[in-house]
Chain A
Amino acid sequence: MKPMKLVSVLACAVALFFPGKVYGQSDPGVRPGAINGQPGATPMNPLPLSSVNSTDGSLQFFQNGLSRFQDVESVSKSSTNNNGLGPRFNFNQCSGCHAQPAVGGTGPANNPQFQVIANGIVNGSTNAIPSFITVNGPTREARFPFFFNSSGSPNTNAPNGGVEDLFTVSGRPDAGSCNLPQPSFAVAQATGNIIFRIPTPVFGAGLIENLDDSSLLANQAAAARNNLGISGTFNRNGNDGTISRFGWKAQNKSLLLFAGEAYNVEMGISNEIFTQDRPLPGEDQLGSGLPASCLNLAGTGYPEDTTNYAPTVTSSDPYALNASIPSDIVAFAMFMRLLAPPVPSTTTPGGPASVSRGQALFSAIGCATCHTPTISSTQPSNFTSSLGNAPVNAFSDIEIHHMGTGLADNVSQGGAGGDQFRTAPLWGLGQRIFFLHDGRTANLLAAIQAHESNGSEANQVEANFDALSNSQKQDLLNFLRSL
């Protein structure tokens, strides 16, 4: 090979594998050190809010919820696990996907969905691992923006957007004769009729839940004075018109609703909010529903998850007994609500001066217009004092913004259209692996650059980012990884 040609090849290889290095700045990667910046936290034991304690019982509810969040779900016949999994599901354990950097987080480095056949969660003769689920890729749910028509092409006049669960219980020893096919993932991929979502972390979620609408509206009005091309709106709950706030499009009003929907949609477990087994969107809309052989597989009747009439544990602690009585979704909601928010580092990565400069640059170039560092403050809380009258350092305005053709997923949820997304809260960003709603990148620089495309509100801010020097960009990346 001629020397010049060799140099070109090497340059291309460097650009391919180290994109940041070419331009002089790079994503420092997942921040090492204490989980969520909280000494004492472990991957299996994230910390609760500081006011959570055993004297008033809040700690027992937190611990009970944490435990249930890690339960492995079965279809039927299990005396040790919950029954009710499926008939369609994405995984059999909340904490399988909400795992990074601790229980309650987002997708881990080793994708458990890739191991479902190897680990006996799914029967390999009836299910295949979709090609978009990879060994070290993001944990994902899949949605088809449009229904297929009778000739098998996506029908743009028939929006779908519901979750197409990846796996079925068919062939599991505890699933009887239930026999279901997986949705047509391969054709959906070939036709571009598929989008993905990754799990949203829920650390600090109780504070977001406890923000009063008036605080959010005041923040919106203040941010309207930007000269950056930004003007967001809110997704509002269809029942009462108040601001909804959880999920990638802020489509869910409360943590209880968020838990109930996820239990039903991601794991196939009917509950007190979503009381039937869920067919696929097409099976539901076209009226075929689930076959009788796939209904009531747990043998308990519906809903599969209910309030317990009596304590399910033995304990001398009355609060521990109390905590075992609510249904799983209430326990999940309590766990999420009482989880402490991540604590940012003031020094890592890059040292305190770089992190400080990065924070100032983050505001100066306009990132903070949407990724509002702090919304103050929450309404008084009837759960625990830490949730009340507290600042919310979520780095989000909880608004939905047009993010352009580059990020659009053509899924409408509530008032959010196909290109609108909630400003992703950035607290805890430093220890996340995958970015953006579909986990398309693990490179923070690429995630920033994905903010610009036709129709995006972030184009001007991205241009400001492009105007920074390489060292300023590095400071900003260091700051983001300090969160």
Chain B
Amino acid sequence: MNTKFLPSFMLFIFLLSMAAPAPTVAQSGGDFSDNAQAKKLPTDTILVKGAWSSASDSKAPTPESGKITNNTYNNPYFGLTYALPPDWIEKYTGPPPSDSGYYVLAQIRPAETDQIKNRGSLLIAAQDLFFTFSPAGNALELIDYSKENLSADYKVEQPPTIIQIANHSFVRFDYSSPIAELHWHILATQIRCHMVQFVFTGHNSLQMETLIQSLEQMTLPDEAGPISGKGGGSAPVCIKDYVRDENILEKVDPVFTERRFNPVPVRIIIDKEGKVKHIHFLSAFPDQAKAIADALFQWRFRPYLRDGRPIEVETGIMFGHVPRPSAFSSVAAVSE
């Protein structure tokens, strides 16, 4: 470069830099970080939850608190234990309870994914009968309704039939998909006003029968049955719609400060004195749960009497956005 042009060139570079100034260097905070060693977030973790399940205390078990330990599924809420078939695992946990009262309790499959083709999979699920969309008042009606509304994609192999498993009554319903060559074997009973179901899915019906036999070793509470499961024994009795005017002595409405218009299904246990003893939020934002808890602990109910003596009762209330009026029930079922 000819040196006589150097000053002009430098001036040009200077003006260019003025025309395109380097952006301000932001310090840490908000959208900016100058910390190359900043702490990493945990991976594969849901840190920001939406409406989720929670409870007012950890003393009373909840339906979603069941766990698999030592190859056995144990659910203290339902009083249920089930030893998994050998080499079967829970590869993935299920989602949280839904705002229509549906629970994925466990999803069990062969340890090797490629074995699903030969050996199938098992879903253990529950539907809270207080909050179901379907016009059914008990587990038997719910399975019957499923059968009546089965998609044309499927073929009924065995209509709902009462059978005995582990010395308890279940309703069994089998159907299949000819195109997928898959069979579904559903065994359902009712415990604490929930339909609890075991859904076996696989290609090989004989293999499925062997798995169904494994249910014989499961333990269940006395109440379990397609219609009969309404609590009692060591659990409170469960009654739909116990929260009605004639049973409410004192009531304070919860105040939601941030409206989201979501349904907030809540199960409560009312003690012998008519006070709320335990609250289970199936699906609620934390601020909603707090507002509901603050209100419900001030409610007073008429104690539930059986044979003239007060006993604990479990019931359900829908706060927030109520999806639709209840469309049933055909029989007394979970109501009294």
Can you list 26 A-B contacts with CB-CB less than 8 angstroms, sorted by A residue number?
A125-B22, A126-B23, A145-B41, A146-B47, A149-B28, A151-B38, A152-B33, A168-B23, A181-B25, A188-B33, A191-B33, A227-B197, A229-B125, A231-B98, A238-B260, A238-B261, A241-B259, A282-B30, A363-B151, A415-B261, A454-B93, A455-B95, A455-B96, A459-B94, A460-B107, A466-B117
Residue numbers in B under 8 Å from A177 (CB-CB): 21
Residue numbers in A under 8 Å from B139 (CB-CB): none
Top 3 nearest A-B pairs (CB, nearest first) are A282-B30, A417-B50, A152-B35
Residue numbers in A under 8 Å from B99 (CB-CB): 233
Q: Are A405 and B33 in contact (CB under 8 A)?
A: no
Q: Are B31 and A183 in contact (CB under 8 A)?
A: yes
User: Is there a chain B Cβ closer than 8 Å to A342's Cβ?
Assistant: no
Most-contacted residue by chain A among B24, B39, B149, B184 (CB, 10 A): B39
Q: Which B114-137 residues sit within 8 Å CB-CB of chain A?
A: 114, 116-117, 120-121, 123, 125, 132-134
Q: Are A418 and B107 in contact (CB under 8 A)?
A: no
Residue numbers in A under 8 Å from B199 (CB-CB): 227, 460
User: Is there a chain A Cβ closer than 8 Å to B206's Cβ?
Assistant: no
Q: Roughly how many angstroms separate A217 CA and B327 CA in the complex, as a whole number?
A: 14
- Nearest A residue (CB) for B146: A225
Residue numbers in B under 8 Å from A401 (CB-CB): 95
- Nearest A residue (CB) for B177: A364
Residue numbers in A under 8 Å from B44 (CB-CB): 405-406, 453-454
Most-contacted residue by chain A among B31, B49, B121 (CB, 10 A): B31
- Nearest A residue (CB) for B136: A225
Whole-angstrom distance between the Cβ of B226 and the nearest chain A Cβ: 16
Q: Roughly how many angstroms separate A28 CA and B184 CA in the complex, as a whole number?
A: 30
User: Is there a chain B Cβ closer than 8 Å to A77's Cβ?
Assistant: no
Q: Are B107 and A286 in contact (CB under 8 A)?
A: no
User: Is there a chain B Cβ closer than 8 Å to A192's Cβ?
Assistant: yes
Which residue of A193, A406, A416, A463 contacts B109 across the interface (Cβ within 8 Å)? A463
- Nearest B residue (CB) for A127: B23
Which residue of A161, A173, A365, A405 contacts B177 across the interface (Cβ within 8 Å)? A365
Q: Are A217 and B92 in contact (CB under 8 A)?
A: no
Contact with B along A210-241 (1 / 0, CB 8 A): 00000001001110110111011100111001
In the complex where A184-B32, A466-B117 touch, is A153 in contact with B38 (Cβ < 8 A)? yes
Residue numbers in A under 8 Å from B104 (CB-CB): 229, 457, 459
Q: Roughly how many angstroms separate A190 CA and B33 CA in the complex, as a whole number?
A: 11
Q: Are A466 and B113 in contact (CB under 8 A)?
A: yes
Q: Are B201 and A467 in contact (CB under 8 A)?
A: yes
User: Is there a chain B Cβ closer than 8 Å to A360's Cβ?
Assistant: yes
Q: Roughly how many angstroms separate A224 CA and B327 CA in the complex, as a whole number?
A: 15
Which residue of B35, B50, B125 contacts A415 across the interface (Cβ within 8 Å)? B50
Q: Are B149 and A222 in contact (CB under 8 A)?
A: yes
Q: Which residues of B does A touch, CB under 8 Å?
A: 19-26, 28-36, 38-41, 43-52, 92-96, 98-100, 102, 104, 107, 109, 113-114, 116-117, 120-121, 123, 125, 132-134, 145-146, 149, 151, 153-154, 177, 179-180, 182, 184, 186, 197, 199, 201-203, 259-263, 283, 321, 323-324
Residue numbers in A under 8 Å from B45 (CB-CB): 405, 408
Residue numbers in A under 8 Å from B321 (CB-CB): 236, 241
Q: Are B179 and A454 in contact (CB under 8 A)?
A: no
Whole-angstrom distance between the Cβ of B174 and the nearest chain A Cβ: 11
Contact with B along A60-104 (1 / 0, CB 8 A): 000000000000000000000000000000000000000000000
Q: Are A224 and B182 in contact (CB under 8 A)?
A: no
Interface size on A, residues (CB 8 A): 96
Q: Are B41 and A363 in contact (CB under 8 A)?
A: no
- Nearest B residue (CB) for A244: B261
- Nearest B residue (CB) for A358: B179
Q: Which A121-141 residues sit within 8 Å CB-CB of chain B?
A: 123, 125-126
Q: Are B102 and A231 in contact (CB under 8 A)?
A: yes
In the complex where A147-B29, A188-B33, A192-B43 touch, is A217 in contact with B262 (Cβ < 8 A)? no
Q: Are B95 and A404 in contact (CB under 8 A)?
A: yes
Q: Roughly how many angstroms separate A457 CA and B97 CA in the complex, as a whole number?
A: 10
Contact with B along A268-286 (1 / 0, CB 8 A): 0000000000001111011
| Secondary structure dominating the interface of A | loop
Q: A125-B22, A191-B38, A217-B324 are in contact. List 4 more A-B contacts (CB 8 A).
A: A170-B21, A280-B31, A467-B202, A468-B117
Q: Are A152 and B34 in contact (CB under 8 A)?
A: yes
In the complex where A227-B199, A364-B177, A365-B182 touch, is A233 in contact with B32 (Cβ < 8 A)? no
Q: Are A184 and B33 in contact (CB under 8 A)?
A: yes
- Nearest B residue (CB) for A475: B179
User: Is there a chain B Cβ closer than 8 Å to A329's Cβ?
Assistant: no
Residue numbers in B under 8 Å from A150 (CB-CB): 28-29
Q: Roughly how many angstroms separate A149 CA and B36 CA in the complex, as a whole number?
A: 13
Q: Are B21 and A126 in contact (CB under 8 A)?
A: yes
In the complex where A147-B29, A181-B25, A238-B261 touch, is A187 in contact with B92 (Cβ < 8 A)? no
Q: Are B117 and A467 in contact (CB under 8 A)?
A: yes
Q: Are A154 and B39 in contact (CB under 8 A)?
A: yes
Q: Are B261 and A180 in contact (CB under 8 A)?
A: no
- Nearest A residue (CB) for B119: A467
- Nearest A residue (CB) for B121: A463
- Nearest B residue (CB) for A452: B92
Whole-angstrom distance between the Cβ of B169 and the nearest chain A Cβ: 20
Q: Roughly how many angstroms separate A151 CA and B32 CA in the complex, as a whole number?
A: 10
Q: Roughly how many angstroms separate A464 CA and B288 CA in the complex, as a whole number?
A: 37
- Nearest A residue (CB) for B101: A231
Q: Roughly how many angstroms separate A404 CA and B91 CA in the complex, as a whole number?
A: 13
Residue numbers in B under 8 Å from A149 (CB-CB): 28-29
- Nearest B residue (CB) for A286: B30
Contact with B along A149-164 (1 / 0, CB 8 A): 1111110100111001
Residue numbers in A under 8 Å from B51 (CB-CB): 233, 415, 417
- Nearest B residue (CB) for A232: B98
Q: Are B48 and A360 in contact (CB under 8 A)?
A: no
User: Is there a chain B Cβ closer than 8 Å to A440's Cβ?
Assistant: no
Which residue of A361, A417, A452 contacts B179 across the interface (Cβ within 8 Å)? A361
In the complex where A225-B145, A233-B263 touch, is A463 in contact with B179 (Cβ < 8 A)? no
Contact with B along A415-436 (1 / 0, CB 8 A): 1111110000000000000000
Q: Are B179 and A364 in contact (CB under 8 A)?
A: yes
User: Is there a chain B Cβ closer than 8 Å to A252's Cβ?
Assistant: no
Q: Which A162-218 residues sit within 8 Å CB-CB of chain B?
A: 164, 168, 170-171, 173, 177, 179-184, 187-188, 190-193, 217
Q: Are B48 and A190 in contact (CB under 8 A)?
A: no
Q: Are A464 and B32 in contact (CB under 8 A)?
A: no
- Nearest A residue (CB) for B18: A177
Which residue of A187, A285, A464 contacts B30 across the interface (Cβ within 8 Å)? A285
Q: Which A267-320 residues sit within 8 Å CB-CB of chain B?
A: 280-283, 285-286, 288
Q: Are A152 and B149 in contact (CB under 8 A)?
A: no
User: Is there a chain B Cβ closer than 8 Å to A144's Cβ?
Assistant: yes
Q: Which A358-415 residues sit within 8 Å CB-CB of chain B?
A: 360-361, 363-365, 401-402, 404-406, 408, 410-412, 414-415
Q: Which A438-483 residues sit within 8 Å CB-CB of chain B?
A: 452-457, 459-460, 463-464, 466-469, 472
In the complex where A151-B28, A466-B113 touch, is A179 in contact with B23 (Cβ < 8 A)? yes
